[in-house]
Amino acid sequence: MFTACKTSIMTNRVITSQIVTGYQECQRKAFLLLFGNDQGTRHQYVSIIERQRILNRDRQTDTIIKQGRTVKAYDDSSLGEKNAVFVDARIRVDDCEAYCDIVESPSLSCSEYRPIIVTGTYKVSEEQKLELLFAGHVLGKALNSNIQNGSIIDQGGRSHKLKLSNSQKILNPILNSLSQWMVAPPTEPPSAVLHKACPYCQFSVSCREVAEKNDDLSLLDRLTPKLIKRYHGKGIFTLKQLSFLFKPRRSRKRKSKLHEIYKPELQALAIRTSKIYLLGTPELTRHPTELFVDIEGIPDQGFHYLIGLLICSAQGNSYSSFWANTQQDEEQNFRQFLATIEKYSDAPIYHYGSYEPKAFRKLATRYKSDIDSVRKRFINLNSLIFGKIYFPVRSNRLKEIGKFIGASCVSDTIK
């Protein structure tokens, strides 16, 4: 049975939009937001996105004013007013408080209330959709009616309409769990199990410290929550315990397969013994001239602003940087890069990871370029390491391996 927003309030705590979206991402995050004394430190990227969101909200508000509608600061008592637009609304009902950038009340052009979330990003995330669902849910409680639709306006000004009538199915499990926490708070926070969202979370420093102290399995980059659960089922909770599971196989029949399968146990052993382990020899044919490429971009905007190129030949090494200061420069930048590498048509093009081939595919499609011959020259150095070489580090990220082998970064942008 749905209980949230009806439960008698036993504490002064409220279930906010941030806590609801936090719970969906990580239960520990929701717990720390709800019960923690320290609210952590916001990541720089998240702060930039938040600033962009405020600017975007101001732009949307200006547009509404130009349309001749009345814009008001939100307060509970004025919510019933028709033909009004409320901005920066914190809608509180019982123990729930939803944030909504804009609430439109019924007008001649729209017969129903409409919650609007404004974003600082160009792409709409699942988290932002959940934020809107929660805003619609609490607004509905405040008006004692069902909110049917809402919108998300992205950084580019595009409006994405979302049906809110079935929001209960998604919200109920989250709100019920949070309500139970409010009534009977757990004595301990959920464990610090690191995952891909952690680097941007405000609690990343403290959670990493806890994970380090516990020598937690999630410190290994490639261990997924599913794999971690499987190891927990076997009574393995720490990297040290994991390291003792590795058993070298001598069977020749399995040799070829061994090269392809990643072994977390061996990674843990490499870390415990501070040694590099080889499960195979990477095969790489060297060439008189070799190219190394690295692309930097802003995924949210689909914008690739830098292509770095290192040319190694008998004459020495030379570096080139292809910068696009704006999206309009991107095509010319890409074409200049292609013209440069065409001068070395026999040279392999080394890259690290899957980002570069994907970026090239996107750029080639966007600018209608045939890059088939270029793509055939790509060699992913990461795939030469994967499952074969185990460095005593927690991930195969270039920065981490580079640091171990004594290579220093020219800039922070090296992946």
Among 91, 175, 192, 374, binds ligand SF4 (CB under 6 A): 192
Q: Does 220 bind ligand SF4 (CB under 6 A)?
A: no
Angle at 53 between CA 47 and CA 56, to 5 degrees: 145
Of the pair 224, 320, the CB lying nearest ligand SF4 is at 224
Which pair of structure tokens corresponds to residue 342?
């065409």
Taking the C-alpha atoms of 74, 79, 84 and 87 in order, what is their torsion angle to the nearest 10 degrees?
A: 20
Q: Does 223 bind ligand SF4 (CB under 6 A)?
A: no
CA distance 116 to 110: 14
Q: How far is the CB of 26 from ligand SF4 (least distance, A)?
A: 3
Strands 316-323 and 303-313: antiparallel
Angle at 46 between CA 73 and CA 404, to 5 degrees: 175
Amino acid at 187: T
The SS3 call for residue 95 is: coil
Find the part of the chain contacting ligand SF4 (CB under 6 A) among 24-32, 81-89, 162-170, 176-184.
Answer: 24-32
Name beta bridge partners: 99.
Answer: 90
- Contacts with 180 (C-beta within 8 Å, 6 or more apart), sequence order: 3
Of the pair 32, 338, the CB lying nearest ligand SF4 is at 32
Q: How far is the CB of 415 from ligand SF4 (least distance, A)?
A: 21
Among 48, 110, 197, 276, binds ligand SF4 (CB under 6 A): 197
Q: How far is CA 26 from CA 181, 192, 347, in A?
A: 15, 10, 46
Q: Does 209 bind ligand SF4 (CB under 6 A)?
A: no
Do the beta carbons of residue 374 and residue 404 sit within 8 Å?
Answer: no
Q: Does 102 bind ligand SF4 (CB under 6 A)?
A: no
Of the pair 28, 137, the CB lying nearest ligand SF4 is at 28
Q: How far is the CB of 29 from ligand SF4 (least distance, A)?
A: 4
Q: Does 29 bind ligand SF4 (CB under 6 A)?
A: yes
Find the part of the chain contacting ligand SF4 (CB under 6 A) among 61-69, 122-130, 197-205, 228-236.
Answer: 197-205
Name beta bridge partners: 100.
Answer: 89
Name beta bridge partners: 293.
Answer: 309
Number of residues counted as binding ligand SF4 (CB under 6 A): 12
Q: Does 201 bind ligand SF4 (CB under 6 A)?
A: yes
Do the beta carbons of residue 350 and residue 379 sit within 8 Å?
Answer: yes
**Residue of 141, 148, 184, 182 lying closest to 166 (CA atoms):** 148
243-302 residues in contact with ligand SF4 (CB under 6 A) are none
Find the part of the chain contacting ligand SF4 (CB under 6 A) among 150-158, 192-200, 230-238, 342-350.
Answer: 192-200
CA distance 376 to 311: 18
Among 96, 178, 207, 271, binds ligand SF4 (CB under 6 A): 207
Among 23, 203, 344, 360, binds ligand SF4 (CB under 6 A): 203
Q: Does 26 bind ligand SF4 (CB under 6 A)?
A: yes
Q: Does 198 bind ligand SF4 (CB under 6 A)?
A: yes
Q: Does 28 bind ligand SF4 (CB under 6 A)?
A: yes
Which pair of structure tokens corresponds to residue 94?
């019982």
Of the pair 19, 100, the CB lying nearest ligand SF4 is at 19
List residues binding ligand SF4 (CB under 6 A). Answer: 26, 28-29, 32, 192, 194, 197-198, 201, 203-204, 207
